[in-house]
């Protein structure tokens, strides 16, 4: 008797690709690990890849994401915020003014919340920012077993102290004696 596969996406490349696309489209944020660490990024799914804009004034930083490199993308659940799927992406930078850049930035502009200069945002992105295409190279990769949470640094600032003895009386009030 054979054991069932833990990941149906690994059995079928088409199913895995569809799972990556659907999960990434529905998630508002993706976690991207490049050469300089991991960062949560807002994105847009367009024509088979996630697109991010950043590295300019007022935009999200894109640390370690370089043209021609790779990145590990982890997609979270929009409902619960937990990890759903991870995939490897090839990173390419779109050239400002090119046809793909124009198509992607028009949709990114509509999705960009709270832009300071919404009328001139495309000109600012062309001059100051990078628009990157993160295209899946593998349908899925294994999710890490641990939580990936970093423990907080030791500090003298703490919030857990014993409750002062008088506090319950102050909060609940004293019962007044009726005479």
pLDDT in tens, 99-118: 999 999 999 999 887 887 88
pLDDT exceeds cutoff 70 at 5: no
Using the structure block, give the residue that is written with the tokens 């993308």.
73
Domains, the chain, ordered by start: 8-172 (2.30.110.10)
Average pLDDT rounded to a whole number, residues 137-143 = 73
pLDDT in tens, 26-47: 998 999 998 888 899 999 999 9
Nearest to 31 by CA among 63, 56, 9: 63
């Amino acid at each position: 008797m054979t054991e069932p596969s833990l990941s149906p996406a690994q059995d079928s490349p088409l199913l895995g690709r569809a799972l990556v696309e659907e999960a990434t489209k529905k998630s508002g944020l993706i976690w991207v690990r490049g050469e300089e660490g991991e960062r949560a990024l807002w994105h847009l799914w367009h024509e088979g890849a996630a697109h991010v804009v950043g590295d300019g004034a007022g935009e999200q930083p894109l640390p370690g994401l370089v043209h021609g490199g790779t990145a590990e993308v982890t997609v979270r659940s929009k409902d619960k915020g937990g990890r759903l799927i991870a995939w490897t992406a090839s990173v390419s930078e779109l050239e400002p003014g090119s046809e793909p850049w124009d198509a992607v930035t028009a949709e990114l502009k509509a999705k960009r919340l709270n832009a300071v200069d919404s009328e001139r945002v495309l000109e600012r992105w062309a001059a100051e920012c990078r628009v990157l295409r993160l295209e899946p190279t593998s349908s899925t990769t294994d999710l890490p077993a641990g939580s990936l949470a970093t423990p907080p640094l030791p500090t003298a600032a703490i919030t857990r102290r014993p409750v002062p003895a008088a506090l319950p009386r102050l909060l609940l009030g004293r019962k007044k004696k009726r005479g």
